[in-house]
Amino acid sequence: LQKWPVEDPKALSEGEKRVKRAASENLKAAIAGLRHREAVDAIRFASTSTCLSKSVDGHVALWDWAAGKSLGAWDVPGSSMRCYSDLDVTQDGKYFVVGNAKGAVFVFRTREEEEEAKERGSTHTAAEAASKGEPVARLEAYKQKDPVRCCAISDDHRDVLSSLGDAFTFRYQHFKPKNNPKTKQPEKKEEAEAAAAGEEKENTASA
């Protein structure tokens, strides 16, 4: 007769045990570095290796879950009251939106986007605000102050949706500012010639 030992399917090899221990320690370190003081009610992936987490007191943290490292933190304005609200992040991980208990939605830049703005030498007010951890936009409905239950931002950074209270959904849309007349782009050559010909024709007819 011959025996064949049957391995325990739950048993881990030495290599697998080391990986599991390392992952556990990294996760513990990451959680310790988040500094959440209240219950965490939302978690979203910002990239393949980073996550955003939010607690009910309005504290948002960005962390590298693989390396067990905290990368940044924000506090949502007007979060003196607890708010059980979801958050959302764009597919490219550059922006995230989160609401508070007073009906306002805030758009923040992630740390990665802030670094890119600095490298570009951007002097835009939004970039300056982001470098200080402040929101780049505040969105709120007129006279509607119910808690924000959830919110979402489109991947092109243009539209934001928010759900307030029990029966209200709002959509906010970003429009590029209109051209300033003082900095208006010069007309095309054909358009300029046509306009000049039209003016000359009008002057001849009036004469």
Tokens of 75: 């506090």
Six-digit token string for 135: 């929101």
pLDDT in tens, the chain (207 residues): 666 666 665 566 666 666 666 656 655 555 555 567 788 888 888 888 888 889 888 899 888 877 778 888 899 998 888 888 889 999 998 999 999 999 999 999 986 555 555 555 554 444 444 445 789 999 998 888 899 999 999 999 999 999 998 878 999 998 877 655 554 554 455 555 555 565 555 555 555
Q: How far is CA 93 from CA 49, 78, 100, 112, 176, in A?
A: 11, 24, 21, 8, 21
End-to-end CA, the chain: 121
Question: How many angstroms separate the CA atoms of 184 and 127, rounded?
Answer: 24
